[in-house]
Chain A
Amino acid sequence: MNRTMLLISLMVGIGAVQALAQAPAGDDDPNVEALSYRIVSMPQPEGISLEVSGLAWLPDERLMMATRRGEIFIAQNPLAASGETLELVRFAHGLQEPLGLLVHDGWIYCVQRGELSRLRDVDGDDRVDEIETVCDTWRVSGNYHEYNFGPRIDAEGNFWITTNKPFGGEPFGRVDWRGWALRITPDGEMIPTACGLRSPAGIEISPWGDAFYTDNQGEWCGASKLSHLEPGDFHGHPWGLPSARREEWAYDYPGDPPNGKLMPDVVQDIPTFKLPAVWFPYDKMGKSPAGMTWDQSGGRFGPFSGQLFVGDQHHASVMRVFLERVNGHWQGACFPFRSGFQSGALRLAWGPDAQLFVGMTNRGWGSRGNQTDGLQRLEWTGHVPFEVREMQARPHGFRLVFTVPVDLERAQDPASYRMESYTYRLHAQYGSPEVEQKTLSIESITVSEDGLAADLKIAGLRRGYVHELHLPGIRAEDDRPLAHAVAYYTLIEQPR
């Protein structure tokens, strides 16, 4: 640990003590989030637009940031104190909307509109000297919405990217491979991997090696979602399906999606239709999920090690996701986690000491937060928030795991809970309402002796439905309410 980091750690400690000294926060008090997770602002120098679209750490613990204006900056002092201005070196410019960054094997990888590129500083002056085209097999129509995201690298060294579908005019003509997940081999060969994507603003390889992506609600995408990406998948949007008739696609044509079916029923028409891991109910969780990252801090970021954090551009927030594999399908629950960032949270990356760096922009779409762009970081204050850490599916209900012991009496009272379930339609309209809603009753509750877990027996669970759980009556041992008394479990598979 260098001096700076030591200093930071000390400050984090002091901050935590100060935070703890504050008055207890109520359910609606935004400070309840701040009590455990502090947002640290590092303004950029005047005149620099820092519309962060990619984040990656260099081996020397400097933070590299790609921007939507095609620049790549190196932040010399990413661990600067709150309010201290970032010192930025411009590594590159003139790139065409790079929307992700990856440091690999001495190169900086990014995907531009028209190519996967890698960049290198040969002479050590922190300025790019070489840009190599790794793959430009796809073409560009000239539509603004044809963003590309990634790359992320898998165990075999393949680069994963996701491509947005266009909206409106395509001045250079319609092109293939829009709304796709693509793999690029180390040799630059493009492998079409999954189709039916809409606006896949985040892609990440999980710690166990699987790829996941986030998609934004719209036509043929009833609700924003996190989905597991496997070769051969169809994720619901028909825009890019003509490419699935090309020989580069190693699988059968998925079939044309039925317009208006309930999501769980689509698989009857299209066997390769992939239901999501998690739906993010519209506006309740966010409106535009983007970058994500798994917490592998081993507890240095608080009690959520192993879980996934997802940025939401519109809500300028970070959401939390618990995942489990049920009958071979990755699924789980999402929870509100931290709001109040200064702009749309597009990219997330871990700092050297388990700080969560959030790269932001809201240009063109708007967001909560009063800034157009920038970089902030989120630090755990050391205070353990009272949260539902996990919501696991059980054959006859759900198991809740809490971060701190609960008040047993309240936890055993069915009136402390409320659950409803609903699903979405797959259709051409923009977004789907929550349909087939049903209120579920809690039949019985078993709370573990240590007060850290509660098993809820619930009748009428439905596969392919979001199970929205509210826990208004739950209190911790110390009588605190939950920081976020809500969880949304997307039940695709039910354990047998």
Chain B
Amino acid sequence: MSLTALGWWLGIWTCMVAPADETPSLYTAIPPGEALLSERGCLSCHAATPEVESRLHPNPAPHLDQVGARLSPTYMRRYLTDPHATRPGTRMPDLLAGLTDSERSERIEDLVHFLVSRGGPLANPTTAVTGDALAAGRRLYHEVGCIACHQPVEPAAALEHVMGTLSAAQLAEMSEEDEGLFEVEPIPGAWVPTDVRLDDLAYRTTVPALARFLANPNAVRPGARMPSLDLTDREAEQIAVYLLRDRAERTRTPGIGFEYFEAPFDTPVGSFEDLSPVRRGSMTQIDRLPDHRPDHFGFRFSATMAILEAGSYRFFVTSDDGSRLWIDDELVVANDGFHPMQERSGQIDLGAGAYRFVVESFERDGGEGLRVDWEGPGRERSPVGGESFTHEGLGFRLPEEEVSLSPDAARVERGQQHFVELGCASCHPGVVDAPAASAPALGRLDPRRGCLAAAPAATLPQYALDAVERTALREAIGQVAGWQQTAPTAEERVVRTLARHQCLACHRRDDLGSPRDDRRSYFVIRGDAELGDEGRIPPHLDHVGNKLRPSSLESVLLESSRVRPYMAARMPQYGAEHVGELITDLIAVDARPEDAIEPPFTAESVQQGRQLVGTDDGLGCINCHTLGPYESLGVPAVDLATMTERLRPGWFRQLLLDPMSVNMITRMPKFWLEDRSPVDIAEGAPGPQIDAMWSYLSLGDAMPLPKGLVVPEAEFELAVLDEPVLCGVFMAGVSPRTLVVGNPESLHYAFDLQGSRLAKAWRGRFFNAKGTWHARAGALESPPTDDVLELAPGAPFALLPNDEAAWPDPESDTGYRTLGRRFDDRRRPSFRYRFEGMTIEEKPVPRRERRNTWLQRSFQIESENDQQNLWFRAAVGRSIQAIAPGVWLVDDRSLVEVPVGAEATEQSRRRTRGEWQEILVPVRFVESESGWTAAFEVELTW
């Protein structure tokens, strides 16, 4: 073990004092004793005022209420016997130092029984996995960010092709390699031990228990020094398997193993010679193909088949393309060739015993599939698999003697007493009811006595502090009274938070931090995006409170949002309790008010911005940046559609004006050389051009697509560019005469031409016409998203004798007559129909402003006479609430804004009919030369 407790504390110390020859940084200004007070749990026994607590943000000890389900009794015993030797750097004091060996081991045994009784005993199932899971865990451990704080197991160079699979032999090799690989270089300001090696994990716990912990570390360690890396359960298990690899054993597990190959397979008999598997895995039965690429692949399934009942067995192989089945090297079924799903079978007499079972299948191109069945004595035809088939894999299980312990009631009771008496409960609350610690309050401590005495009494907790630490703690305790008066500034709080959570292990801020030299090469790009260091090293945090909007800081820190999908390292999640304040502090420290000013938003600036973002006669932002669902023309740099949502306008301006000024390593070019860009907008001037781009980008998902963007060629996909795109369809739930209208604003709708009704609206992708245009077509279509706003059913207008009268039944003949449609100069349709001597025209127009789109429905009505009792039904829902005059919230989902007239008779009103509520708007006519007219608008958003 290359790292000792002394080492890492010294590391911090040196780090904190190291830049002394330069301007003292904020990090060096934090008294190291503060970190010790927080991390050593001093406040658990020595009460502090809320001011001091909030300054120190103490790191609580792990929850032990379920510890029995987490740790093996053997490990508990070892750890309690000598905490500092077992886990160097541990902050748990030795509480049993003053006892004789026999007393000590007796108490420990009692404590272990007690702890095992908390949620235990530890379940010890065999976790069976394939080499794939181990390899995946190895990749994840080294890629997602674990190694920022923990020691890597393997040199980065060895991990270049980590997608493969690991054999038992490779495993053995690995464990020989993993000594002394890494120099210890401290993380600036780190408050907790870094580079803790995890070797002994394998003796502590099981795969399922470790996976549970990794998936949600904060549940056990509320201090969030070990953050969540947003792992899926599967990823957590893979990492657990890797970390516990010392316990891996070759096992036989139920099921059929497979190897997956990628090759042309263009000969009628699949040749697997000289091929290396791309992946391994297992299936419980062969009733389908495991995951594969579309064409040109093969699978080899193998298993040991146990035959209990002698007799004649028949095997059926149905495959597309070819396949073969062997039993102990005897070819039983040959189903070679290129063919659609085709069944072949073969019979074989088998005595009781074990046989080697192999199936190979391959696919050249076109459709593919595989199914292998068998039948035999007492067995009806069914897919091969089940308990008769086993294959080799890796099994993880702790030796029973390390786990087995039945808590003895007497010992449990004694253990509980010790737990209270020794003061364990002070740091580990929630396990038993215990009186509060009786130690003196922090402010009244004599820093030269007690735990901090040069040689603490054996009855006191033994923290194994060295002289440096003691000095630091003494100094810090001396300042406690002062802390009462002066709270840390926002800047100091930022520094403390970054230090406490080791943010600087990955990020740089104020010239400190970013991955240490021996770790940089573990930060990699997923896939083959060529983005240099920008693509793999987490971004620096200088002025980040001025760069990101509060909502964006929040989503990155608290909502696991991933802005850079290409970056393998993940942003750890600490929880609002720990980093919530950081958001306001960063804003307070960094944000410049003038950078919040948004440029004017006009239709013209949107148009210009669109040109600038596009290629051809623009600056070509889309050459490198993705845009919503669309790939860039080159590398996948950060999504343009989210820019204005994430960034503050002033920072964006600065980035564009001089990219290197905000990020030294950026590959983003500077477009305005000598204050002019080549684009002929505003004479090339940067100010108006950047503002125009901001306006355009601020449309977010509603951006009309820029020139040059390559829209993926999904067959029959209707892409909307400059003008509305229309398609007449049969629409499910609407009518067989439905017109879907796609708009450049990315807000689309379906209009029922038969019922003269706006039926649905949705955002994003418009429509794929395959069902209507392919083959004989005639499909019942639906919008391509689940997020569809359904509008009120039935007739939009009705003549009601009074406002209590029922709205006409949607199934009834409404007396509407379709008149047709017209197009305006921007090719937007309006829909015309006749009803009771009136001509009604509805024009749905998407409207947009920054980061928002809505639908405006304009109605024009001409009538031969003054209709007194014409109503418009604006909404129907199960629950409709008034938000403001004329503004209604429908089903907690959509907002409908209707005209507000001066008189009560002109107000929209809500009425309840059974389970439904509806909003009715009275229509008022004015006399005109040609008769009577009415015009109004309804706005709709969701």
* A-to-B contact residues, CB < 8 Å: 49, 68-70, 93-97, 112-115, 117, 127-133, 136, 139-145, 171-172, 363-365
Rounded to whole angstroms, the CA-CA distance of A97 and B739 in the bound complex is 12
Distance (whole angstroms) from the CB of A170 to the closest CB of chain B: 9
Q: Which of B57-65, B169-177, B774-782 contacts A (4 or more CB under 8 A)?
A: B774-782
Distance (whole angstroms) from the CB of B935 to the closest CB of chain A: 20
Collect the chain A residues with CB atoms within 8 Å of residue B41's CB.
none
Distance (whole angstroms) from the CB of A107 to the closest CB of chain B: 11
Q: Are A129 and B822 in contact, with the CB atoms below 8 A?
A: yes
Q: Tell me if B936 is interfacial: C-beta within 8 Å of chain A.
A: no
The 9 closest A-B pairs by CB, nearest first: A144-B778, A94-B726, A96-B728, A364-B776, A114-B737, A140-B736, A142-B736, A132-B820, A142-B730
Q: Tell me if B819 is interfacial: C-beta within 8 Å of chain A.
A: yes
Collect the chain B residues with CB atoms within 8 Å of residue A128's CB.
823
Rounded to whole angstroms, the CA-CA distance of A395 and B694 in the bound complex is 87
Distance (whole angstroms) from the CB of B354 to the closest CB of chain A: 54
Q: Tell me if B4 is interfacial: C-beta within 8 Å of chain A.
A: no
Distance (whole angstroms) from the CB of B243 to the closest CB of chain A: 54
Contact with A along B714-730 (1 / 0, CB 8 A): 00000000000111111
Collect the chain A residues with CB atoms within 8 Å of residue B730's CB.
140, 142, 171-172
Of chain A, the residue at the smallest CB distance from B822 is: A130
Q: Tell me if B818 is interfacial: C-beta within 8 Å of chain A.
A: yes
> Interface majority SS on A: helix, strand, loop or mixed?
loop
* B-to-A contact residues, CB < 8 Å: 725-730, 732, 735-737, 739, 741, 753-754, 769, 773, 775-778, 780, 817-823, 827, 829
Rounded to whole angstroms, the CA-CA distance of A438 and B780 in the bound complex is 49
Collect the chain A residues with CB atoms within 8 Å of residue B829's CB.
94
Collect the chain B residues with CB atoms within 8 Å of residue A49's CB.
773
Q: When A and B form their complex, what is the total count of cross-chain residue pairs whose Cβ atoms lie within 8 Å?
A: 86
Distance (whole angstroms) from the CB of B823 to the closest CB of chain A: 5
Collect the chain A residues with CB atoms within 8 Å of residue B741's CB.
94
Collect the chain B residues with CB atoms within 8 Å of residue A130's CB.
820-823
Q: Are B819 and A113 in contact, with the CB atoms below 8 A?
A: no
Collect the chain B residues with CB atoms within 8 Å of residue A144's CB.
776-778
Q: Are A113 and B736 in contact, with the CB atoms below 8 A?
A: yes
Collect the chain B residues with CB atoms within 8 Å of residue A70's CB.
726-728
Collect the chain A residues with CB atoms within 8 Å of residue B821's CB.
130-131
Q: Are B820 and A171 in contact, with the CB atoms below 8 A?
A: no
Which residue of A68, A114, A364 is within 8 Å of B736 (Cβ)?
Answer: A114
Collect the chain A residues with CB atoms within 8 Å of residue B769's CB.
69
Q: Are B729 and A96 in contact, with the CB atoms below 8 A?
A: yes
With contacts A94-B739, A140-B736, A140-B737 taken as known, whether A132 is within 8 angstroms of B776 at the C-beta atoms is no
Collect the chain B residues with CB atoms within 8 Å of residue A131's CB.
820-822
Rounded to whole angstroms, the CA-CA distance of A142 and B773 in the bound complex is 14
Rounded to whole angstroms, the CA-CA distance of A470 and B775 in the bound complex is 38
Collect the chain B residues with CB atoms within 8 Å of residue A139's CB.
754
Rounded to whole angstroms, the CA-CA distance of A131 and B841 in the bound complex is 13
> Interface majority SS on B: helix, strand, loop or mixed?
strand
Q: Are B754 and A114 in contact, with the CB atoms below 8 A?
A: yes
Rounded to whole angstroms, the CA-CA distance of A113 and B728 in the bound complex is 9
Of chain A, the residue at the smallest CB distance from B726 is: A94
Rounded to whole angstroms, the CA-CA distance of A69 and B730 in the bound complex is 13
Rounded to whole angstroms, the CA-CA distance of A363 and B735 in the bound complex is 24
Q: Are B820 and A133 in contact, with the CB atoms below 8 A?
A: yes
Collect the chain B residues with CB atoms within 8 Å of residue A97's CB.
728
Distance (whole angstroms) from the CB of B106 to the closest CB of chain A: 80
Which residue of A132, A141, A172, A363 is within 8 Å of B775 (Cβ)?
Answer: A363
Given A129-B822, A136-B818, A140-B736; 12 other pairs, CB 8 A cutoff? A94-B728, A94-B739, A94-B741, A113-B728, A114-B754, A130-B823, A133-B819, A140-B730, A141-B736, A142-B730, A143-B778, A363-B776
Rounded to whole angstroms, the CA-CA distance of A318 and B780 in the bound complex is 35
Collect the chain A residues with CB atoms within 8 Å of residue B817's CB.
133
Of chain B, the residue at the smallest CB distance from A132 is: B820
Q: Are A117 and B727 in contact, with the CB atoms below 8 A?
A: no
Rounded to whole angstroms, the CA-CA distance of A97 and B737 in the bound complex is 11
Q: Are B728 and A95 in contact, with the CB atoms below 8 A?
A: yes
Distance (whole angstroms) from the CB of A410 to the closest CB of chain B: 48
Of chain A, the residue at the smallest CB distance from B829 is: A94
Of chain B, the residue at the smallest CB distance from A130 is: B822
Which residue of A95, A115, A142 is within 8 Å of B778 (Cβ)?
Answer: A142
Q: Are A133 and B775 in contact, with the CB atoms below 8 A?
A: no
Rounded to whole angstroms, the CA-CA distance of A139 and B818 in the bound complex is 13
Rounded to whole angstroms, the CA-CA distance of A312 and B773 in the bound complex is 22
- A-B CB contact pairs (8 Å), 6 listed: A70-B727, A93-B726, A96-B737, A114-B754, A130-B820, A172-B736
Collect the chain B residues with CB atoms within 8 Å of residue A96's CB.
728-729, 737, 739
Q: Are A69 and B775 in contact, with the CB atoms below 8 A?
A: no
Rounded to whole angstroms, the CA-CA distance of A347 and B780 in the bound complex is 28
Collect the chain A residues with CB atoms within 8 Å of residue B823's CB.
127-130
Of chain B, the residue at the smallest CB distance from A167 is: B776
Q: Are A133 and B818 in contact, with the CB atoms below 8 A?
A: yes
Q: Are B819 and A132 in contact, with the CB atoms below 8 A?
A: yes
Collect the chain B residues with CB atoms within 8 Å of residue A69's CB.
769, 773
Collect the chain B residues with CB atoms within 8 Å of residue A94's CB.
725-728, 739, 741, 829
Of chain A, the residue at the smallest CB distance from B827 is: A127
Distance (whole angstroms) from the CB of A163 to the closest CB of chain B: 14
Distance (whole angstroms) from the CB of A52 to the closest CB of chain B: 15
Of chain A, the residue at the smallest CB distance from B775 is: A364
Collect the chain B residues with CB atoms within 8 Å of residue A112's CB.
728
Q: Are B776 and A113 in contact, with the CB atoms below 8 A?
A: no
Collect the chain A residues with CB atoms within 8 Å of residue B727's CB.
70, 93-94
Rounded to whole angstroms, the CA-CA distance of A70 and B735 in the bound complex is 17
Collect the chain B residues with CB atoms within 8 Å of residue A171's CB.
730, 732, 736, 780
Of chain A, the residue at the smallest CB distance from B779 is: A144
Rounded to whole angstroms, the CA-CA distance of A363 and B716 in the bound complex is 14
Q: Are A172 and B820 in contact, with the CB atoms below 8 A?
A: no
Rounded to whole angstroms, the CA-CA distance of A360 and B261 in the bound complex is 46
With contacts A130-B820, A172-B735 taken as known, whether A364 is within 8 angstroms of B728 at the C-beta atoms is no
Distance (whole angstroms) from the CB of B174 to the closest CB of chain A: 55
Max chain B Cβ within 10 angstroms of own Cβ: one of A49, A127, A133: A133
Q: Are B820 and A113 in contact, with the CB atoms below 8 A?
A: no
With contacts A69-B773, A144-B777 taken as known, whether A114 is within 8 angstroms of B822 at the C-beta atoms is no
Q: Are A145 and B735 in contact, with the CB atoms below 8 A?
A: no
Q: Are A145 and B737 in contact, with the CB atoms below 8 A?
A: no
Collect the chain B residues with CB atoms within 8 Å of residue A127's CB.
823, 827
Collect the chain B residues with CB atoms within 8 Å of residue A364's CB.
775-777
Of chain B, the residue at the smallest CB distance from A140 is: B736
Distance (whole angstroms) from the CB of A133 to the closest CB of chain B: 4
